[in-house]
Chain A
Amino acid sequence: NAGVTQTPKFRVLKTGQSMTLLCAQDMNHEYMYWYRQDPGMGLRLIHYSVGEGTTAKGEVPDGYNVSRLKKQNFLLGLESAAPSQTSVYFCASSLLNTQYFGPGTRLTVL
């Protein structure tokens, strides 16, 4: 099992550009999450999904959209990137008690 994978690992965007981050898990987990982590801070939840076709807002959802068209994939979109969205983005999936995290995507918005 690959666990949780994230694509891409690094990306640099200009202000106003759009992009999609892909998260994939092969553990057949129902729940998936997108977090962001800024320097020296803990993780903050952006959006999450409790199953295929469902999404919900987390703590910091503004400026992001998500989709869960397939159970194994959870996409995070930035429609118009801003410098404040420069961060490391982590995806996670869980079954019941334990969240499994991906390696992260480091995004810089200039």
Chain B
Amino acid sequence: DAKTTQPPSMDCAEGRAANLPCNHSTISGNEYVYWYRQIHSQGPQYIIHGLKNNETNEMASLIITEDRKSSTLILPHATLRDTAVYYCIVRESPFYGQNFVFGPGTRLSVLP
């Protein structure tokens, strides 16, 4: 599986967009980019995933560069409840039972 690199922490002002970067320079053609988040002490929560096109859902947008070597998760209007650790994961899809490798992620702090 491709390795991902994320900044250890970021701050964002409440109401502003939070842009979380992820580098995955060794990604292969059949690997997807997934984003999960973990709010303190809770189980990780799925946010979004994509292959090459930009994706948007009710929670966030995912922007993947044309060469697919990096991506950005965008929370358009961050709230205090978005304070969490955000994990970028690269994995084939569908994955027939294999695990996701959760690295240390980015700790996002949304400030009032």
Give the interface of A toward B (CB within 8 A): 4, 30-31, 33, 35, 40-45, 48-50, 56, 58-59, 88, 90, 92, 94, 96-104
Contacts and interface: CB of A to CB of B under 8 A. Distances in A.
A21 B93 CA distance: 29
Interface residues of B, number: 24
B97 A90 contact: no
Contacts of A33: 99
Identify the 4 closest CB pairs spanning chains A and B, nearest first.
Answer: A101-B43, A50-B97, A42-B102, A45-B99
Interface stretch (B12-20, B44-52, B72-80): B44-52
A98 B49 contact: yes
Contacts of A103: 42-43
Interface of B: 32, 34, 36, 41-46, 49, 87, 93-105
A56 B97 contact: yes
Given A97-B49, A97-B94, A104 B99 contact: no
Contacts of B41: 88, 104
11 contacts: A31-B97, A35-B99, A35-B102, A40-B104, A48-B98, A96-B93, A96-B94, A97-B49, A98-B49, A99-B46, A103-B42
Contacts of B102: 35, 42-44
Contact of A101 (B44, B98, B104, B105): B44
A48 B43 contact: no
Nearest to A100: B46
